[in-house]
Amino acid sequence: STPSDLKDEL
Amino acid sequence: MNIFRLAGDMTHLASVLVLLLKIHTIKSCAGISLKTQELFAIVFLTRYLDLFTNFISIYNTIMKLIFLGSSFSIVWYIRRHRVVRRSYDKDQDTFRHFFLMWPCLILAIFINEKFTLKEVMWTFSIYLEAIAILPQLVMLQRTRNIDNLTGQYIFLLGAYRAFYILNWIYRYFTEEHYVHWITWVAGVIQTLLYGDFFYYYFQSWKNNVKLELPA
């Protein structure tokens, strides 16, 4: 999983 | 976006608004730990480095600006505002919070998802947020007088974390390989720190007595 998909969280 | 995350963000927003309202209307920060507010400002600063470079959505950008703006204005109020600063009880707010930052930074350097400056800073903000409430909880134990707004503020902060845990569970089951141990472990630890407070908050609410934390 790419770490970026978590970056959509605040 | 799912209902748990939206509820979490709205609860988080409510917590900072309750605090701003308290400080702005009654011009007092009695019982509020400046150190915890400084740590939260650092959390948002190090987490939202990609604010202008990595556009996610209007909602995301607006919320980031609100959290950055509110956390820095709360710190400004407590440190600089000529009336509010007088109600800051620095003798009770003695937690050495900068002492807390080093282990978070070192841990972020060794345990992260990608060894880049932005990712290490972001991971640092995750670890720091997990323990940022400690100075505030220590101060509450000391001052023992928890006024309603402060109690609501901490309750809302804890609720926001609890909603985020539900959000991660939901995303784990609905999205392919959505796994982020670092965020989950830090998030669970953070929520547990509120556990003790929640217990006494509910006791006082159930027995309809003033909130008192044991010495």
Inter-chain touch A3–B119, beta carbons under 8 Å:
yes
- For residue B130, pLDDT over 70 is answered with yes
| Residue B95 near residue B42 (C-beta atoms within 8 A) | no
- Interface membership of A2 toward B (CB under 8 Å): no
Tens-place pLDDT, residues B145-162: 788 889 999 999 999 999
Inter-chain touch A6–B180, beta carbons under 8 Å:
yes
Q: Which of A4, A5, A8 sits opposite B60 (nearest CB)?
A: A8
Closest CA to B54 of B7, B6, B119: B119
Q: Cβ atoms within 10 A of the Cβ of B135, count?
A: 22
Tens-place pLDDT, residues B160-187: 999 999 999 999 999 988 889 999 999 9
Q: Name the CA dihedral angle for B180, B184, B186, B188, rounded to a multiple of 10 degrees.
A: 180
What ipTM score was computed for the predicted complex, to two decimals? Answer: 0.83
Q: Please report which confidence band the pLDDT of residue B196 belongs to, taking 50, 70 and 90 as the band edges.
A: confident
